[in-house]
Amino acid sequence: MTVEVPLSGGDVVTEGVVRVGDTVRRPLGPHSPAVHGLLRHLEAAGFDGAPRLLGTDEHGREVLSWVRGETPARPLPAYAVTEEALAGVAGLLRGYHEAVRAYEPPADAPWDTVASALDGAPEIIGHCDVTPENVVFRAGAPVALIDFDLARPTTRLYDVVTALRHWGPIADPCDRDGRLYGADVGRRLRVFCDAYGLAGDDRRRLLVAARVRFERSYEAMRLRAENVGGGWARLWQGGAGPRIRRAQDWLERNWDDLDARLT
């Protein structure tokens, strides 16, 4: 008998994600062929920080390998907020960026090219959604990125900024996970950028990129809530908009301190 165990991570934007034995089954979308090419490339490149694509099943779902370990749920467990974990996530993202560099996506891949163009001249196919729920840990150390649904052409800096929105976190203290309420975010940004090996130019542009990104995410989420509905609408009704506004205010208030810590 096949047992399907429902999985949900974070915002549960993707409905119908289940575990079957050592596999994960996820619904296909327009982006799936491009993401599958990406996962095959990572496998060929020997990058083991991502699930393997095993095919599609009789219900038309993608079949991925189950990555052994745990993904931090909210409230975040202690192991997910250490500086070692933070540096580990940065190293994982860097490893992914190195492995994906040589990937030539199909020319007709239905990425969100409008958003990509706004990020600047694309350098890589970024993961673009490195939240705690999308990182698998084993014995307290991050070992894999999962959930490549939002992958698209972007810059390294943009992918780093998106990760830091969650892992800094670049957020008002009142919206942070309990264990990160009083976190020294300036220090955490520095730890992440050091472990990633972020170039000096990119460090100097990081806060500006965060500022631009917040404004764009606000608009993008509002539009998705209206036009796509489902999980996006639930996110928006749950106060995603005001959370972004508070994060923007916090960033502006702490700009000089953060900038000094980064450069």
| Residues at the contact surface with Mg ion, assessed by CB under 5 A | 9, 133-134, 147
Binding site for ligand ATP (CB under 6 A): 7-14, 17, 24, 26, 51, 64, 66-67, 71, 133-134, 136, 146-147, 149
Neighbours of 126 (CB within 10 A): 28
* Bridge partner residues of 65 (DSSP): 23
Beta carbon of residue 235, minimum distance to ligand ATP (angstroms, whole number): 9
Amino acid identity at 6:
P
Rg for the chain (alpha carbons), in Å? 18
Beta carbon of residue 147, minimum distance to Mg ion (angstroms, whole number): 4
Amino acid identity at 131:
T
Neighbours of 237 (CB within 10 A): 10
Q: Name which of Mg ion, ligand ATP, none residue 17 binds, using a CB cut-off of 5 to 8 Å depending on partner kind.
A: ligand ATP
Looking at the Cβ atoms of 133 and 159, the one nearer to Mg ion is 133
Beta carbon of residue 231, minimum distance to Mg ion (angstroms, whole number): 11
- The residue to which tokens 């705690």 are assigned: 132
Beta carbon of residue 69, minimum distance to ligand ATP (angstroms, whole number): 7
Taking CB atoms, the residue at the shortest distance from ligand ATP is 9
Distances from the Cα of 259 to the Cα of 84, 186, 217, 255, angstroms: 22, 8, 22, 6
Q: Name which of ligand ATP, Mg ion, none residue 136 binds, using a CB cut-off of 5 to 8 Å depending on partner kind.
A: ligand ATP
Looking at the Cβ atoms of 67 and 170, the one nearer to ligand ATP is 67
Looking at the Cβ atoms of 17 and 42, the one nearer to ligand ATP is 17
Is the CB of residue 147 less than 8 Å from the CB of residue 179? no
Beta carbon of residue 232, minimum distance to ligand ATP (angstroms, whole number): 10
Looking at the Cβ atoms of 9 and 142, the one nearer to Mg ion is 9
Looking at the Cβ atoms of 43 and 123, the one nearer to ligand ATP is 43
Looking at the Cβ atoms of 15 and 83, the one nearer to Mg ion is 15
Instruction: Kindly compute the dihedral angle of the four CA atoms of residues 115, 119, 120, 123, in this order, to the nearest 10 degrees.
Output: -100
CA 256 – CA 259 distance, rounded (Å): 5
Beta carbon of residue 124, minimum distance to Mg ion (angstroms, whole number): 20
Which residues does 31 contact at the CB level (< 8 Å), separation at least 6?
109, 110, 111, 149, 151
